[in-house]
């Protein structure tokens, strides 16, 4: 399922809009710029998904690197934070 909220937040920062429900038909464009078409947003979905995945991978790598640098396991880190 295409997540129009994620697409709009990623590719149209600063634009004003509302989304009633999960479908393009519920998109009300409030900005002065032209409203993106459904096709345009649908075409951007794969790119946004890849960006989300890359961000998650970067966070995972950073967490692993930090744990390695500290010489502790994830379980040990959770104990320290609880």
- When divided into structural domains, the chain yields a total of 1
Mean pLDDT in the chain? 96
Q: Which domain holds residue 39?
A: 4-81
Measured on CA atoms in the order 15, 42, 19, 59, is the torsion positive or negative?
negative
Write down the pTM of the prediction.
0.76
Across residues 47-52, what is the average pLDDT? 98
> What is the H or E stretch that residue 62 is in?
helix 38-70
Instruction: Report the Cα 70 to chain-centroid distance in Å.
Output: 29
Across residues 4-20, what is the average pLDDT? 97
CB of 46 closer than 8 Å to CB of 3: no
**Model confidence at 69, in pLDDT bands (50, 70, 90)?**
very high
**Minimum mean pLDDT among 4-8, 56-60, 77-81: which range?**
77-81
Alpha carbons 9 and 28: distance in angstroms, whole number: 14
């Amino acid at each position: 399922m295409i997540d129009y909220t994620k697409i709009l937040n990623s590719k149209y920062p600063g634009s004003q809009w509302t989304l009633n429900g999960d479908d393009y038909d519920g998109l009300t464009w409030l900005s002065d710029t032209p409203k993106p078409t459904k096709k345009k947003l649908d075409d951007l979905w794969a790119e946004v998904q890849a960006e989300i995945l890359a961000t998650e991978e970067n966070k995972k790598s950073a967490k692993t690197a930090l744990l390695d640098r500290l010489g502790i396991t994830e379980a040990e880190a959770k104990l320290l934070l609880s």
